[in-house]
Amino acid sequence: MKKETQCVHSGTLQDAATGGINSPIYCSTAAEYLDRTEVPYQRYFNTPNQAAVVRKVAALEGAEDGVLFGSGMAAISTTLLALLRAGDHAVLQAELYGGTHAFVAELFQQVGIGFAFVDLTPEAIEAALTPATRVIFLETPTNPLLHLVDLRRVADLARARGVLTLVDNTFATPLNQNPITLGVDVVLHSGTKYLGGHSDIQCGIAVTNGTLAKQIRHTACHLGGSLNAATCHLLERSLKTLHLRVERQTANAGRLAAWLADQPVVARVYYPGLPSHPGHDLARRQMVGFGAMLSFELKPGDVTSLNLQRRLQLIRPAVSLGGVETTICAPAQTSHIKLTRAEREALGITEDLLRLSVGIEHVDDLLADLEQALASTSAR
Ligand SMILES: *Cc1c(COP(=O)(O)O)cnc(C)c1O
């Protein structure tokens, strides 16, 4: 099946009682056990509503199986703890989602797992591998500068050494990039973002092959970060329109990126779909679409990062991303606020950088809002 069809149909549960065409919601946390080999229980990650979502996302990512969690961080932390033990080593890119970076930096030390944060070139990743390395963890495109990593090259060099490659695919979505088809072993998502898509549910998922899924599920039962039936239902409902949303969001982002790049007050635009982006050729090879996240910097002048955010009327200054509504934030004051200014500058994140999460609105309304907000104060 094509992805559009998988979004709608993959994983849907039969409703024998009523013939209804939607998956029924199974909310019991107590179930009869006599004459049953397995009792469904949310924290065992074995309920029908969890399975329905896993099958849909696994189909979209080209995976065999997966484990559904109560947040993106539950998916990431549980997966890493399932695949690593004391004495093992992990190589992670330095430009990583802040929560993942903090989890590794704080918790790996406590449990005796070695780690190295490295630059995102395949050469830097290869150079950081040690005989104890079991896992490489990547994100592409990165937050907030949309840098790209060559997934096939990293997956190939990892496989040659018996190392697993994990990719947080939250920014790209399963519509715009499928790391498993490029040789990656495990794909993770913060479902709170595009999969949920309406800025109203928290969830996460890991999809992979059958053997690794079993291993992750085993650790997940200990850690307990499962997703309840009501939220599984909302997520399944959201995923039916994932394709429509992401297609529109990606198209809108392409238009906004090109328009911003033409504005005299804009110094730089970071978007993989722009031919000027250093990862543009790689993006064309490994992505289906260029995604709906973009960042930009303003030239010094009377429109600043802060007053631009205050002047916008439709686009809301807000944290998080991936919803149907367009939002804007300054990473230096939000996602990267815990770093020092020097650490941010080393990553290329200036105090004035602005990140847009582009929604499904009509692009003309988004352009009009940006245009009125960017108009110089003196010209008003
Ligand atoms: C938000 C996010 C996470 C964490 O997800 P939560 O659902 O907030 O736990 C992980 N990775 C990326 C890239 C994210 O944007």
pLDDT tens sequence across 280-325: 999 999 999 999 999 999 999 889 999 999 999 999 999 999 999 9
DSSP states of 57-91 as a string? HHHHHT-SEEEEESSHHHHHHHHHHHH--TT-EEE
Q: What is the CB < 6 Å shell around ligand 1?
A: 71-73, 97, 99, 139, 143, 168, 170-171, 190, 192-193, 202, 204
pLDDT tens sequence across 140-175: 999 999 999 999 999 999 999 999 999 999 999 999
Predicted structure pTM score: 0.97
**Residue 198 three-state SS:** coil
Counts of helices then strands in the chain (DSSP H, E): 15, 12
Handedness of CA 220, 172, 61, 199 (dihedral sign): positive
pLDDT tens sequence across 184-227: 999 999 999 999 999 999 999 999 999 999 999 999 999 999 99
DSSP β-bridge partners for residue 139: 168
Instruction: Identify whether the C-beta of residue 186 lies closer than 8 Å to the C-beta of residue 206.
Output: yes
Q: How many CA atoms lie within 13 A of 21 on its CB side?
A: 3
Question: Which protein residue's CA is at the shortest distance from atom 6 of ligand 1?
Answer: 72
The preferred substitution site among 92, 139, 143, 170 for testing ligand 1, maximizing ligand atoms within 8 Å of CB, is 170
170: number of Cβ within 10 Å: 25
pLDDT tens sequence across 32-73: 999 999 999 999 999 999 999 999 999 999 999 999 999 999
Kindly give the distance from the C-alpha atom of residue 200 to the centroid of ligand 1, in angstroms, as a whole number. Answer: 14
Kindly give the distance from the C-alpha atom of residue 57 to the centroid of ligand 1, in angstroms, as a whole number. Answer: 17
**What is the distance between the terminal CA atoms of the chain, rounded to a whole angstrom?**
53
pLDDT at 302: 86
Kindly give the distance from the C-alpha atom of residue 69 to the centroid of ligand 1, in angstroms, as a whole number. Answer: 12
The preferred substitution site among 69, 71, 73 for testing ligand 1, maximizing ligand atoms within 8 Å of CB, is 73
**Residue 297 three-state SS:** strand
Question: Which protein residue's CA is at the shortest distance from atom 8 of ligand 1?
Answer: 72
Kindly give the distance from the C-alpha atom of residue 15 to the centroid of ligand 1, in angstroms, as a whole number. Answer: 33
Which residues are identified as catalytic? 43, 97, 168, 193
